[in-house]
């Protein structure tokens, strides 16, 4: 068992580097179906589930510190490459996908509550879960408090949220290589193709890694310091928004042409994926198995409706996947999924996830009220 924070971080960095190099340097066919991001996530999750990483104060602190600093730094570097004159070309399809995601999640909760015949307490707990899956953990707490969820039922909701969210993230990452096939099936164009020519304008010359890292760290620290004084919804959302604003502003300067930002941002992305996977521990499954099954059924209904909507409105996989995860995952994971399609699309994940925070509490309260009214 690993108890040292330094060794924990080194192992995650080694996993991220190892799978990235295997994908880049070898011709293994497995990477056509399981890209490096999935392998990194799955292997980190496997080690965590096997109890390799000790859950002590030092490791928990280094996890929180690393994630808190890397996320805004990564967002800043990725946004340096974005040409926002192209961003609004995705507006209609993304808006339709987002509305479809919200409605399908709500329908999923209502149908499952009827199938499982929830009692009042369970209905309230799943109402809180709806707040989380339409926004984030902050929305879950707000909805749960409003609906008077008991501590036991709230614990069930947290476990369902953790288990189902973990597998949902992994599934959406797994589907990335199949985007073109899915898009042909629904008759949609690849949204990310619009950004295929967007990136660092400089393709030759010295890669200024240390300068880029320095700028990214400064932006990360500045975002966190400002978030202490100016908070929007919650601290995480504020930090992400500030880093996004800094990245957008910097994309209009000469920093955009600085070579190497893509490589540095990708490195941070893989470390973040390893970090998230290292906390995806499966436990207490047997005690709340029925609740977890109910959560899976909600996601199945959500997925079916999203695919049907994609077929009707000709929405590509990127649009529906990011719309889905911006609700179920929020600002911590939607930008990461968007970046796996194209690092220039990270802003889409950020903006859609923020929309989730804005409506999560109201949507969760509405769905929760319906579930409670249907409860026996």
The single residue listed with the structure tokens 């909701």 is: 157
- From residue 328, alpha-carbon distances to 7, 13, 158, 221, 302 in Å are 31, 27, 13, 27, 11
The pLDDT of residue 197: 44
In a domain, 164, yes or no: yes
Neighbouring residues of 106: CB distance < 8 A, sequence distance ≥ 6:
130, 134, 363, 366, 367
Q: Is the dihedral of CA 311, 315, 317, 320 positive or negative?
A: negative
- 56 neighbors 64 (Cβ within 8 angstroms): no
Reported as a single tens digit per residue, the pLDDT across 14-42 is 999 999 899 888 888 787 767 787 788 88
Neighbouring residues of 354: CB distance < 8 A, sequence distance ≥ 6:
237, 240, 241, 331
Reported as a single tens digit per residue, the pLDDT across 313-354 is 999 999 999 999 988 987 768 888 888 887 777 777 877 776
Neighbouring residues of 255: CB distance < 8 A, sequence distance ≥ 6:
80, 215
The pLDDT of residue 233: 57
Neighbouring residues of 18: CB distance < 8 A, sequence distance ≥ 6:
none
In a domain, 38, yes or no: no
How many angstroms separate the CA atoms of 89 and 271, rounded?
A: 31
Domain that holds residue 172: 86-259+282-374
In a domain, 197, yes or no: yes
The pLDDT of residue 14: 95
The pLDDT of residue 109: 96
Nearest Cα to 52, choosing from 275, 286, 278?
A: 278
Neighbouring residues of 83: CB distance < 8 A, sequence distance ≥ 6:
195, 198, 251, 344
Residue 331: its H or E element: none
The pLDDT of residue 113: 93
In a domain, 39, yes or no: no
In a domain, 130, yes or no: yes
- From residue 100, alpha-carbon distances to 126, 185, 265, 346 in Å are 20, 19, 31, 20
In a domain, 24, yes or no: no
pLDDT above 90 (res 84): no
In a domain, 63, yes or no: no
Residue 135: its H or E element: none
The single residue listed with the structure tokens 């699309």 is: 345
How many angstroms separate the CA atoms of 355 and 263, rounded?
A: 29
pLDDT above 50 (res 61): yes
Selected residue with higher pLDDT from 159 and 108:
108
In a domain, 176, yes or no: yes
Tokens standing for residue 168: 């949902």
pTM over 0.75: no
Neighbouring residues of 38: CB distance < 8 A, sequence distance ≥ 6:
170, 173, 174
Reported as a single tens digit per residue, the pLDDT across 164-220 is 888 898 899 999 889 989 999 998 876 655 544 444 444 444 567 888 899 999 999
The pLDDT of residue 104: 97
The pLDDT of residue 234: 67
**Rounded mean pLDDT of 84-102?**
76
Reported as a single tens digit per residue, the pLDDT across 110-148 is 999 999 888 888 899 999 899 889 987 767 877 887 888
- From residue 318, alpha-carbon distances to 31, 172, 178, 354 in Å are 19, 10, 10, 18
Reported as a single tens digit per residue, the pLDDT across 210-266 is 888 999 999 999 999 998 888 765 677 788 888 888 987 888 887 877 777 778 888
Buried b / exposed e over 351-375, threshold 16 CB at 10 Å, is: bbbbbbbebbbebbbbbbbbbbeeb
How many domains does the chain contain in total? 1
* Helix runs in the chain, H state only: 5-25, 30-33, 36-49, 57-79, 84-87, 91-116, 120-134, 137-147, 151-174, 179-186, 209-229, 235-250, 261-278, 289-313, 317-328, 334-341, 346-374
């Amino acid at each position: 068992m690993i108890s040292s924070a330094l060794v924990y971080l080194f192992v995650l960095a080694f996993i991220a580097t190892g799978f990235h190099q295997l994908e880049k340097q070898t011709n293994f066919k497995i990477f056509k179906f399981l890209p490096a991001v999935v392998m990194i996530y799955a292997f980190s999750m496997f080690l965590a589930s096997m109890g390799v990483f000790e859950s002590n104060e030092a490791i928990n602190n280094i996890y929180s510190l690393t994630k808190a600093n890397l996320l805004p730094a990564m967002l800043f570097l990725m946004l340096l490459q974005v040409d926002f004159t192209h961003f609004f070309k995705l507006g209609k399809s993304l808006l339709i996908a987002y509305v479809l995601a919200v409605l399908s999640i709500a329908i999923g909760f209502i149908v499952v509550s009827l199938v499982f015949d929830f009692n009042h307490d369970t209905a309230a707990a799943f109402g809180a879960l709806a707040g989380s899956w339409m926004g984030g953990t902050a929305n879950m707490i707000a909805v749960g408090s409003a609906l008077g969820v008991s501590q036991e039922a709230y614990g069930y909701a947290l476990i369902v949220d953790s288990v189902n969210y973990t597998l949902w993230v992994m599934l959406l990452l797994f589907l990335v290589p199949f985007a073109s096939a899915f898009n042909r099936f629904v008759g949609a164009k690849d949204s990310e193709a619009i950004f295929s020519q967007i990136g660092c304008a400089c393709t030759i010359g010295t890669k200024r890694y240390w300068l880029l890292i320095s700028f990214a760290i400064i932006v990360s620290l500045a975002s966190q310091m400002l978030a202490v004084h100016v908070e929007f919804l919650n601290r995480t959302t504020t930090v992400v928004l500030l880093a996004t604003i800094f990245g957008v502003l910097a994309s209009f300067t000469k920093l955009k042409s600085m070579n190497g930002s893509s490589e540095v941002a990708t490195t941070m992305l893989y470390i973040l994926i390893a970090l998230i996977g290292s906390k995806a521990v499966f436990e207490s499954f047997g005690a709340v198995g029925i609740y977890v099954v109910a959560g899976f059924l909600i996601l199945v209904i959500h997925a079916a409706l999203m695919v049907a909507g994609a077929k009707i409105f000709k929405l590509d996989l990127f649009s529906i996947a990011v719309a889905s995860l911006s609700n179920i995952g929020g600002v911590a994971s939607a930008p990461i999924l968007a970046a796996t399609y194209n690092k220039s699309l990270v802003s889409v994940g950020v903006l859609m996830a923020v929309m989730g925070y804005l409506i999560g509490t109201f949507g969760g309260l509405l769905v929760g009220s319906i579930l409670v009214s249907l409860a026996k």
